Structure 1
């Protein structure tokens, strides 16, 4: 994304939905709604990853989520982090007013 730094998860550049909202200057939830609309064509573990914040899948993910939290990349109320790739961001752009990734 242009003005949001990517995080590396399992060797893939990813962004949180909060970062997508912030980069696009849209209200909270816009990226999530776009994500849900594109979900039928997105493939988990290729286009996006879902990590439960309270129970990360491994230690590396726990450290990543901590860095994301420190960077303000996660909404405070989030129970799960949806991490989207550049391809997912491009797909989401087509259904919402999201800026180019």
Structure 2
């Protein structure tokens, strides 16, 4: 995805909803709504990763610190490149 540096999650390049919103020049929530519309077509662990706050606290804290995710984000979804292609 040109213009955005992927987040590496377990070595897999991924993108946050914030990155996708910014890339599209869209308001907050645009990428999330697109993701929800296609969720039935996506495979967790292949097209996206769900990061629960309780299990990924330090990683999510780092994403917050780097400004990669929205300040209000608690549990995080990261889309892989295949997920981005399916959602958009």
Q: Could you tell me the TM-score, scaled by structure 1's length? A: 0.79
| Aligned position for 1:81 | 76
| Aligned position for 2:39 | 39
- 1:79: how far off? 1.9
Q: How does 1:1-101 map to 2 (within 5 A)?
A: 1-53=1-53, 55-56=54-55, 61-93=56-88
List structure 1 runs of 4+ shifted beyond 6 angstroms. Answer: none
Q: Please give the root-mean-square deviation of Cα atoms over the aligned residues, in Å.
A: 1.3
The count of corresponding residues between Structure 1 and Structure 2 is 88
Secondary structure in structure 1 of the residue aligned to 2:2 = coil
Distance in 2, matches of 1:46 and 1:73, equals: 21
- Consecutive unaligned residues in structure 1, runs of 5 or more: 94-101
- Consecutive unaligned residues in structure 2, runs of 5 or more: none
